[in-house]
Amino acid sequence: MTNQQIIQWLQIFAAKIEQNKEYLTELDAAIGDADHGINMDRGFKKVMSQLPSVANQDIGNILKTVSMTLISSVGGASGSLYGTLFLRASTAVAGKQELTEQDMLELLQAGLDGVLQRGKAQLGDKTMVDTLTPAVTAFRQAVDQGKPMLSAMEEAVVAAEVGMKDTIPMLAKKGRASYLGERSVGHQDPGATSCYLILKSLLEALSRNIGSGE
């Protein structure tokens, strides 16, 4: 995956966030502050404005710019968590112009590790961790089996979707949703949902370039 495909991934995700802004906000209205979609859309519109200045830089620098932009423009836990995800990811692939399957695995694992450390959430707490953890596990297993990046990402997205939907019956144990107790049960977590969209966007960026030999 090249730096240009990374740019394309971010563009696809920004478009998905804009398209799903109201949906994400509706999900957040049930168990949070009703601002997740609004905050993420604002943050990624800002990211889009910054991308032209780093489009030709290495992937680490691109992702670091995303991180800094999100931290400065997205309020609440989302800015901190997504900012940390991209910051850790940028460190894992610093200086690289393109990514191998192993590089992508390290990027995803570093992002997950950052979210775990920053948010102190675990699998089953009804957060974005419930989407990201199974996705990274599935990607790792596919890479270990020698599968190419596209196939590995397809398996990761399937696992991410299951993880996202699995948050519906969960009792929230982190963030504002945890204040609701039993009332948090029956609602899909908004952070798990936006995390699914970011992985789905990554798959789409890879799929669009399947004919280019990447």
Distances (CA, A) of 6 to 51, 119, 129, 206: 11, 25, 22, 9
Domain that includes residue 142, residue range = 3-212
What's the average model confidence in pLDDT over 144-164? 97
Q: Estimate the share of the chain in helix, then strand, then coil, as percent rounded to the nearest 5.
A: 75, 0, 25
Backbone phi and psi for residue 2, each to the nearest 5 degrees, phi listed first = -90, 170
- The interaxial angle of helices 36-50 and 59-73, nearest 10 deg, is 140
The pLDDT of residue 37: 92
Looking up residue 144, the CATH number of its domain turns out to be 1.25.40.340
Residues of the chain above pLDDT 70, percent: 96
The pLDDT of residue 178: 67
Distance (Å, whole) CA 129 – CA 103: 21
Structure confidence by residue, pLDDT tens digits, 36-58 = 999 999 999 999 999 999 999 99
CB crowding 158-192: b at 16 or more within 10 Å, else e: ebbbebbebbeebebebbebeeeeeebeebbbbbb
When divided into structural domains, the chain yields a total of: 1
pTM value is: 0.93
Structure confidence by residue, pLDDT tens digits, 96-111 = 999 999 999 999 999 9
Letter for the amino acid at 9? W
Average pLDDT, the chain: 92
CA 83 to chain centroid, in Å, comes to 10
